Chain A
Amino acid sequence: MIKDFERFAPKTLKEALVLLAKYGDDCKVICGGQSLLILMRQGLVSPKYIVDIKGISELSYIKDGKDGVKIGATTTHRAIEKSPVIKKKYPVLAEMETRLASIQTRNWGTIGGNVCHGDPAGDPVPVLMALNATLTVAGAKGTRSMPVDKFCLDYFEVDLRDGELLTEITIPAPLPRTGTVYTKFNVIESDLATVSVAASVTLGAGDGVCQDVRIALGAVAPTAIRARKAEKVLKGKKITDALLKEAGEVAATETEPISDIYASEEYRLELVKVLVPRMTKEALARAKKA
């Protein structure tokens, strides 16, 4: 049963920030409602006030520029999935979206809402990590930006301070010779991830050496994480199957998976060891073609 609440529907970011400052902890931000409504129906969250930012049109956009693409926080998953710019420059983001829940959810749910929900099994965050994205949040005192890795603090906890709102996601322009991929392991196709892996590989000019690599994992720790030690195994080297296998083993040591009704801790570790090499190899193949 959802408890009664009062809903505000600001039309501008400024109005929204005023409301957030006024109601503080008593209020929750809603946009697509695909995560919050579930928590409310389960009685896990019972806000007195709801600030519905779905109607703030200034926050819904996909802008392509010199230094990358900027995505407004209230942009729906479906809009990202269908965007020609995204499909061309960041195909991994569109591919990720096609596997995010169902079309109905993607029509309503927003990228900002998903990221702020802080679910370690969410799809976008590992991909944004692999793409080296930056988040911008706005508050009464102004705006601040941070890499997506720093935004995720703990299980369902993100770095939003009182009265702050996520406004924009910036993804830098892809470097040449870069390939990025994402997959999630789940038993039912349209389900949340049991384990997810995003990997991005950038090759040096002409030498085939791995100049840069980012590996991000979902659902194996309280937040999505970067497997930095695994990245170190590969960085600056020519990637071989043996190195990939080692990266998988190392990545597994960086995780803290739990056992739950979907998978045991051991199984999740096994999946990390298999999927990290598999996906990094795919990223490498894409980088070679890029």
Chain B
Amino acid sequence: MSDYSVIGKRVHNIDGTEKVTGSAKYTFDVVLPNMLYGKVLRSPHPHAKILKIDTRRAKRLVGVKAVVTGKDTLGRKHGIWRRFPELCDEEILCRAKARYIGDAVAAVAAIDEDTAEEALDLIEVEYEPLPAVFDPMDAIKEGAPQIHEGVELNINVNRHIEWGDVDEAFEKCDYIREDKFKCSSQAHVCMETHDAVASFGYNGKLEVWTSTQSSYYIQRLYADMLDMNESDIRVINRHTGGGFGSKFELDSAQFCAAILSQKLCQPVKIVLTREEEFTATKRRTPMYYFLKLGAKKDGTMLAKEVRVITEGGAYTAMGATALYLTGFFSSFPYKYPNYRYDGYRAYTNTAPTSAMRGFGAPQSTFVGESQIDMMAEDLGIDPVEIRRKNGMTPDYEVPGQAFIQSCGLHQCLDKIDEHLKKRGKLPPNHGIGIASYGFMSGGIFNWFNTPYAFSAAVVRINIDGKVDVYTGACDIGQGSNTTLAMICAEELGVRLEDIRVFSGDTGICPPDLGAWGSRQTLMSGNAVKRAAAECKQQLLEFAGAKMGVNIVYDLDIKDRWVHLVDRPERGVSYFDIVKGAIRGKDGNAIMGRGYYTPHRKGMISPAYSFGVQAAEVAVDVETGRYKLLNVTTAHESGTVINPVGIEGQLEGAIMMAGGYGFCEDQPMDDGKILNPSIADYKLIRSLDMPETEILEIDTYEPEGPFGAKEAGEGLTNPTAGAIGNAIYKAVGVRINDLPITPEKVLKALKEKEKQ
């Protein structure tokens, strides 16, 4: 596809200069006239009735303007699964009961942050502590404390996926393995904590600047919770300091700021502290995994049975989707003829768990790829070979679930095989482990119940030929504005610098479901491409008339040159055409609209990315400490729009997924997270980063814009599994519960010695 003039070029983010110079304005930087500062009071109890809240002393503190509690709300509950009212279970400001340490019970607005914080100490809450339950395996037992009224055994939601005849297939297997795994939690650790500046005016309209992955979701959820028309709410997201899944639900900063602002008709800003970020926002879902895998002697896998219990925490959030997706991706990226999944999400008195980059797939990939390596060893088959034998291929249908068009898994396996062979024999206690994976390019499921297209865009060409793109997509640092600008520039035949992107502002942009589920490149990209194509059509109509060409000739625009496709030297300047076309339209600017809603692509996603990753470790057998030396990834994401963007995604994913495998965890004591600071929460830092390498695979996805598909989340899936497999290769021990800490490795080595 070398004839692209923009796509595939290495470009830096179009907002990069603003960001690196510090001039980009995040919500954190927004200051409005008469703005007040808010703080949120949170429950110190994991489970407690709220008997009484006395706010009088706090209100009397000089500088305090308002104090609100659950009584100041409409008492509604919100949730992302809006189609299922029983799964909308979060009040945000609790009225009768707090369900985890960190649940919001009151909020204060004051003239500055210090005063607001001082006021929190003056609010007297009378609690009646209730028995609490923290582990999902305990929560589903008879007699466990009931966290939500009417929810038996605390089972919040269950999901079942099945095809083929699993029981019959197991009987035909030569070999069956059953294994148990435990996947830990993980904090998002966005650089910008959750924050919002809410401004409710005397005109009855609400404007909110906020750090979010989906302005549209926040707008809609505000409308539900405040009983307002969504058109009276404007949510603005200019720059966002990171979003990995915790920022597309209405959060306590957003909701409390709006409630306080409504009361005062004054702007209120709430920025969560880092400690609140760790304890009172959503986090990755911990899961207990029970796997049964059956194969023929030659390695053909006939059946897989998966049971999962997830720790839901206090509310549903996006955890129900994580439950579903971990079940679906447990079959990835292999062709299981018979498959059964049963997943249960249990409420617990812990911080709610939800979406996080990979959305259930890092868990299923860790456990699945570990087990496949175990199976391969039992059968005496090479790990690459067993994956080749069972791996998905193009045009494969996951029975009753999904249709996969492009799939470069086998090319990825070939590349990784070459890599392994090139590394040859390793020094003692070194090992390379591999893991295969796949991921979706945006979800088709519409539990949110949007009546709008999944993505929509407007493109406008101004008289000077410069182009404005309006998209509801949210650039959260992943570079979607740059990707969409590149798609627009390519389609329209102009240069990247001709494009200006307005995004994530519900006041001016058409709705888009936002940046989650790796959907912006494919879905928003298609919408922008269509909108640009509509503009281009208008220009070509005018150009055809002006140039007086024979109607059998096709016209096109490339690099600002409107020309005959067959005779590119015959053409006119794009800028002249724009001027003329607008004049010809009686001064009406050239505008195009585009949208994308997936159809006939199954239930999950319109397209899937694939890849194989190899992680190399060196283990110190005396201490269990291991170093992640190199991570090499063969990733196929269809046409690469911006190679720099993919490299950024890859390195960020290895930092995050490596941390998930190696050191990140949220230990708790009776529901209290014990490491709520960046000093105590262990993240991989620059010194710990392995060498990373990306092996290019060429594929083309028919459903994607210019053949592109996702590259944001899939890369987070393989690393923990690859590390686990690498450690096994290096020293022969297998750790089935994440994270794989040196202490666990040493313990396993000692146990192995004893045997």
Contact = CB atoms under 8 A, between A and B. Distances in A.
A190 B743 contact: no
B682 A264 contact: no
Interface in B717-755: 741-743, 746-747
Contacts of A271: 623
Contacts of B622: 274, 278
B623 A188 contact: no
Contacts of B667: 261
A38 B741 CA distance: 27
Nearest to A3: B114
Interface stretch (B20-28, B167-175, B673-681): B673-681
Nearest to B684: A188
A271 B743 CA distance: 10
B625 A185 contact: yes
Given A261-B667, A261-B674, A1 B114 contact: yes
A274 B623 contact: yes
B688 interface: yes
Interface in A172-203: 185, 187-191
A290 B623 CA distance: 29
Given A38-B679, A187-B741, A274-B622, A267 B746 contact: yes
B268 to A, nearest CB: 18
Interface in A182-236: 185, 187-191
Interface in B313-367: none
A261 B668 CA distance: 9
A190 B623 contact: no
A270 interface: yes
A250 B663 CA distance: 30
B682 A187 contact: yes
A271 B746 CA distance: 10
Of B688, B743, B746, the most chain A CB neighbours within 10 A belong to B743
A267 B743 contact: yes
B422 interface: no
Nearest to B116: A1
B663 A188 contact: yes
A263 interface: yes
Interface in A234-290: 261, 263-264, 267, 270-271, 274-275, 278
A188 B683 contact: yes
Contacts of A185: 623, 625
Contacts of B682: 187-188, 191
B117 interface: yes
Nearest to B682: A188
Contacts of A189: 685, 687-688
Interface size class of B (residues with CB under 8 A): 20 to 34
Contact of B113 (A1, A190, A270): A1
A261 B113 CA distance: 31
A261 B623 contact: no
A261 B680 contact: yes
Nearest to B666: A261
A175 to B, nearest CB: 30
A188 B688 contact: yes
Contacts of A267: 743, 746-747
A264 to B, nearest CB: 7
B591 to A, nearest CB: 49
A232 to B, nearest CB: 24
A187 B658 CA distance: 13
A257 to B, nearest CB: 13
Contacts of B663: 187-188
Contacts of B683: 188
Contact of B685 (A38, A188, A263, A275): A188
A271 B684 CA distance: 22
A124 B542 CA distance: 76
B664 to A, nearest CB: 10
Contacts of A191: 682
A270 B746 contact: yes
Interface string B487-527: 00000000000000000000000000000000000000000
Of B622, B663, B674, B684, the most chain A CB neighbours within 10 A belong to B622
B553 to A, nearest CB: 63
Contacts of A38: 679
B742 A261 contact: no
A271 B623 CA distance: 6
A190 B685 CA distance: 8
Contacts of B680: 261
Contacts of B742: 187
Contacts of B687: 188-190
A190 B687 CA distance: 7
A270 B624 CA distance: 10
A261 B674 CA distance: 8
B465 to A, nearest CB: 46
A230 to B, nearest CB: 17
A189 B688 CA distance: 6
Interface string B656-671: 0000001100010000
Nearest to A38: B679
A278 B625 CA distance: 14
A263 B743 CA distance: 7
A191 B683 CA distance: 10
A261 B184 CA distance: 14
Of A261, A263, A278, the most chain B CB neighbours within 10 A belong to A261
B464 to A, nearest CB: 45
A100 B622 CA distance: 24
Interface string A37-55: 0100000000000000000
A1 B746 contact: no
A1 B674 CA distance: 20
28 contacts: A1-B113, A1-B117, A38-B679, A187-B662, A187-B663, A187-B682, A188-B663, A188-B682, A188-B683, A188-B684, A188-B685, A188-B687, A188-B688, A189-B685, A189-B688, A190-B687, A261-B667, A261-B674, A261-B675, A264-B743, A267-B743, A267-B746, A267-B747, A270-B623, A270-B746, A271-B623, A274-B623, A275-B623
Given A190-B687, A278-B622, 5 more contacts: A1-B117, A188-B683, A188-B685, A261-B667, A264-B743
Interface of A: 1, 38, 185, 187-191, 261, 263-264, 267, 270-271, 274-275, 278
A-B pairs, top 7 by smallest CB distance, nearest first, are A189-B687, A274-B622, A267-B743, A261-B667, A1-B117, A187-B663, A261-B674
